[in-house]
Structure 1
Amino acid sequence: MVNAIKRTIVCFGDSNTWGYDAKTDQRFNDEIRWTGLLHAELGDAYRVIEEGLPGRTSVSDDPLFEGLAGIAYLYPCLMSHAPLDLVVIMLGTNDTKERFALTSYNIAQGIVRLAHKARGSGAGPAGKAPEVLVIAPPPIGAEYLNTPIGKPMGSNCSEKSMELSQHLAALLSGTDIHFIDSREYVSMNEIDYMHLDIQGHRNMADLVKYHVKRILE
């Protein structure tokens, strides 16, 4: 008996893909993380690979921490998991940090650069282009400034994250890259205002599942 070939999805993101729990400063377990929920609900016909890294940016090298620029890791990441049917990219939250001095448009440009690199990676079946889905993350709440994360993040992060989705939508319009704005369906927690809580992971899983079905089936 020949086993059916599974559809493979790589979820490439930051701490909201890794599953950071702001309440405990630990990681949510598989049953709570949106990637784990997605895998459970898609079933055995799919393989969902988590590639979340706390602090990850799209293209910026962080002067305080090494290895966080997504652009440097994306190609080897995708090729190591190939062949892939879909690459889901959700980044931008960390790019708003004041020390990177990026505008919201610059952040969108970096994410779009990643998306095109994924599309042209040859990591799809038979060396073809995998499908790519870019998700604009939920905006950072303005209250983040009054939490312990406020000082490391710096100022104007919520404003930039609020503007990000409109720039992504405009830059990806007319391309062969899929895009969704999560803000209407998912919100950040009320602890540090920049991470998903349990309900946020549930909502994100539902949103991504719908679009996975739309794209791959």
Structure 2
Amino acid sequence: MKTILCYGDSLTWGFDAEKGGRHRLEDRWPSVLAQALGERVTVIPEGLSGRTTAYDDHLAPTERNGAKVLPTILGTHEPLDLVVILLGTNDLKINAGGGRAFEARIGMERLVQIVRSFPYQDDHGVPEVLIVSPPVFVETPNDVYDQLFGHALAQSRLIAPAYVALAAEAGCHVFDATTVAEATALDGVHLDAANTRAIGQALVEPVRTILSGR
């Protein structure tokens, strides 16, 4: 039996930009991944809207700093074989992360360090890490989201190469979600059901390969 933790923000939580609620459970990418991997793999979705890699959001009603929460989540769900991290979108908010891909990169590096240094309670070993870069932003007529993210259209394109470089340095796995998914123009950031499913489908083979080495 293998266990995967999917750690992310609203793209993992399944925010529906069209209806304002949440995508159906079966449409969220962790659910698609779980369905494809079968009963011998447990996939745990841990998505929170607004979560950053490692930055405080003082306007939020929840703890959105991913680095602060991750140790508790690791302890809750261990033993783990793989941690998939899809974060970085909210790091591009000026009020929460600074607005640059650089902040996302160093924040993601901190998360990798946390996964690898956590004091796991059994001899299962340290889980593998798969970094997933979020789809790039697109232009939107939505004024609220344009104010939040419109300044960072170019920066959103720099996250994927930054994560590729980090993965090479840290010796972990990486996948660029932009290769299979596109943000909706409804808000320029989130995914429709088809595109969130596409991420889950695209991760199936890379995840199988990673788990086969455990």
TM-score by length of 2: 0.92
Give the alignment partner of residue 73 of structure 1, picking from 65, 69, 72: 69
Q: Secondary structure at the match of 2:43?
A: strand
Secondary structure of the equivalent of 1:129? coil
Mapped partners of 2:118, 2:206: distance in 1: 22
Give the aligned residue type for 2:202: L
1:104 equivalenced with 2:101 (yes/no): yes
**Structure 1 125/211 Cα, relative in aligned 2: closer, same or farther at 3 Å?**
farther
CA distance in 2, matches of 1:140, 1:61: 22
Do structure 1's residue 7 and structure 2's residue 23 form an aligned pair? no
Give the alignment's TM-score, normalised by structure 1.
Answer: 0.90
The reply on whether 1:208 has 2:165 as its aligned counterpart is no
Query: Which residue, out of 119, 135, 160, partners 1:138?
Result: 135
Partner residue, 1:3: none
Counterparts of 1:198 and 1:11 in 2: how far apart (Å)? 18
Residues 129 and 147 (structure 1 numbering): CA distance in 2 closer, same or farther, change over 3 Å?
Answer: same
**Structure 1 ranges of 4+ moved more than 3 A:** 122-125
Mean Cα displacement is larger for which, 101-110 or 121-130? 121-130
CA distance in 2 between counterparts of 1:44 and 1:36 reads: 12
Query: What is the aligned-residue identity percentage?
Result: 33
Q: Tell me how far 1:122 sits from its aligned partner.
A: 4.3
Deviation of 1:116 after TM superposition, in Å, equals 2.1
Distance 1:188 1:123 in 2: 36
- Provide the C-alpha distance between the structure 2 equivalents of 1:149 and 1:116, rounded to a whole number of angstroms: 34
Measured after TM superposition, the shift of residue 63 of structure 1 is 2.1
Alignment deviations for residues 8-27 of structure 1 (CA, whole Å, 9 cap, x no partner) = 00000000000000011111
Q: Distance in 2 between matches of 1:124 and 1:164?
A: 33
For residues 207 and 158 of structure 1, the distance between their equivalents in structure 2, rounded to whole angstroms, comes to 24
Pick from 155, 175, 181: which aligns with 1:186?
181
Distance change in 2, residues 1:132/1:122 (3 Å) = farther
Deviations 1:34-93 (A, max 9, x none): 111111111100111010000000111012114100000001101110000000000000
CA distance in 2, matches of 1:160, 1:122: 35
Q: Hey, what does 2:32 align to over in structure 1?
A: 37
Cα separation, 2, equivalents of 1:155 and 1:184? 21
Q: Give the gaps of 5 or more residues in structure 1.
A: 1-5
Distance in 2 separating the partners of 1:147 and 1:22: 11
Indicate the SS of the match to 1:47.
strand
**Can you give the 5+ residue segments of structure 2 that lack an aligned partner in the other structure?**
none
Aligned ranges for residues 50-89 of structure 1 at < 5 Å? 50-65=45-60, 66-89=62-85
In structure 1, distance between residues paired with 2:84 and 2:93: 22
